[in-house]
């Protein structure tokens, strides 16, 4: 059989796999890549270090990858190195967070303004447009943080009886203090809308310590389907809702293959999002479980094929040797 030429894909991931959303992104890329034997995928993880992410991308440019995928840490610092790759003719796919340049080939991610709209509309309808909200925002250097908050504001501002106070989560450790201060100064909070499920759950824990977790409805974002993820937290009644924010791992690989094959792709590739609450949490996790079951079946089958190939090769070599003798 004629081997297909190899496609080398370099993926620069900004955040470590201690973060389950990142781990899920890396894993779905690996699974998708394993379905295409012609793909050689290299993942470099920058561990929240911009300097390292720039170095990782520099290395991929030097190694002349066929396609570069970047999950950027911030919006500005990576612009020069991304533009450098693009100018050298390497197709560049940006995933999740945006960068402040248009010199890349394709962007892939869910629409974070839409995510904010969904959260806003949910609260409006549940509260009959009368509520006190505490918003826990992300820092302003990451585009999903800015866009989620903007989308949320666009909806909430239309309703005079909805009041919103915002605090910023600088990191997961400081959220406790800031949130506790906010809890103490706001005797009535109906909803907490947090930048992601991790922060929403931290807020839930803090509220629980004050005995206030039952009077507040917590809404997060990500909707990961793992034991510590948002879907389970909805099932456990900790979060009232989470908004699915897909990682786009397998879609990124599919886009990369198209680009390597010189196919046309859209500049903006939007991933779907959906609100998950107690009504659909079971259905969603069953669906995700099914998909991962199918993926692991495929992996098992691939291993069986590899074993067969090995046996065949040994047999083939043996026959060659015997005929030679």
Q: Is 21 a binder of ligand FRU (CB under 6 A)?
A: yes
Tell me the number of residues near ligand FRU by CB under 6 A.
12
Q: Which of residues 79-98 bind ligand FRU (CB under 6 A)?
A: 96-97
Shorter beta-carbon distance to ligand FRU: residue 35 or 113: 113
Q: Report the nearest approach of ligand FRU to the CB of residue 127 (Å).
A: 24
User: 11: closest CA among 251, 300, 304, 270?
Assistant: 251
Q: Where are the alpha helices (DSSP H) in the chain?
A: 20-34, 50-62, 79-87, 112-127, 143-156, 172-185, 197-209, 230-235, 249-260, 281-324
Shorter beta-carbon distance to ligand FRU: residue 139 or 158: 139
Q: Are 149 and 82 in contact (CB under 8 A)?
A: no
Stretches 14-22, 165-173, 299-307, 309-317: which one binds ligand FRU (CB under 6 A)? 14-22
Which H or E run includes 271?
strand 268-271
Stretches 18-26, 80-88, 126-134, 202-210: which one binds ligand FRU (CB under 6 A)? 18-26
Only one residue has tokens 């659909």, namely: 280
Q: Are 199 and 245 in contact (CB under 8 A)?
A: no
Instruction: Read off the tokens for 161.
Output: 């009886």
Q: Is 116 a binder of ligand FRU (CB under 6 A)?
A: no
Shorter beta-carbon distance to ligand FRU: residue 22 or 238: 22
| Residue among 10, 116, 120, 144 that touches ligand FRU (CB under 6 A) | 144
Stretches 15-23, 44-52, 85-93, 304-312: which one binds ligand FRU (CB under 6 A)? 15-23
Q: Are 222 and 228 in contact (CB under 8 A)?
A: no
**DSSP string across 76-127:** STTHHHHHHHHHTT--EEEESS--S-S-SSEEEEE-HHHHHHHHHHHHHHHH
Q: Report the nearest approach of ligand FRU to the CB of residue 72 (Å).
A: 9
Binding site for ligand FRU (CB under 6 A): 15, 19, 21-22, 96-97, 142, 144, 196, 221-222, 245
């Amino acid at each position: 059989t004629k081997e297909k030429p190899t496609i080398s894909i370099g993926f620069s991931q900004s955040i470590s796999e201690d973060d389950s959303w990142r781990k899920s992104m890396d894993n779905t890329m690996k699974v998708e890549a394993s379905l295409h034997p012609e793909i050689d995928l290299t993942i470099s993880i920058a561990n929240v270090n911009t300097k390292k992410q720039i170095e990782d991308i520099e290395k991929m440019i030097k190694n002349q990858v066929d396609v570069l995928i970047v999950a950027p840490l911030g919006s500005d610092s990576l612009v020069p190195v991304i533009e450098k790759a693009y100018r050298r003719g390497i197709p560049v796919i940006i995933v999740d967070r945006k960068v402040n340049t248009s010199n890349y080939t394709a962007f892939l991610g869910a629409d974070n303004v839409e995510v904010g709209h969904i959260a806003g509309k949910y609260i409006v309808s549940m509260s009959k447009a009368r509520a006190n909200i505490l918003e826990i925002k992300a820092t302003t250097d990451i585009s999903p943080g800015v866009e989620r908050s903007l989308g949320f504001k666009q909806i909430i501002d239309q309703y005079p009886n909805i009041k919103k106070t915002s605090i910023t989560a600088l990191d997961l450790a400081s959220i406790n203090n800031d949130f506790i201060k906010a809890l103490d100064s706001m005797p009535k909070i109906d909803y907490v809308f947090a930048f992601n499920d991790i922060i929403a759950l931290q807020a839930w824990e803090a509220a629980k310590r004050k005995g206030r977790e039952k009077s507040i409805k917590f809404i997060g974002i990500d909707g990961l389907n793992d034991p510590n993820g948002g879907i389970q937290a909805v099932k456990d009644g900790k979060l009232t809702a989470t908004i699915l924010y897909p990682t786009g791992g397998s879609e990124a690989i599919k886009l990369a293959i198209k680009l390597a094959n010189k196919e046309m792709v859209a500049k903006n590739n939007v991933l779907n999002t959906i609100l998950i609450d107690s009504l659909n949490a079971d259905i969603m996790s069953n669906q995700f479980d099914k998909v991962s079951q199918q993926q692991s079946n495929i992996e098992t089958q691939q291993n069986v094929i590899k074993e067969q190939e090995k046996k065949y090769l040994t047999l083939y070599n043996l026959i060659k040797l015997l005929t030679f003798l």
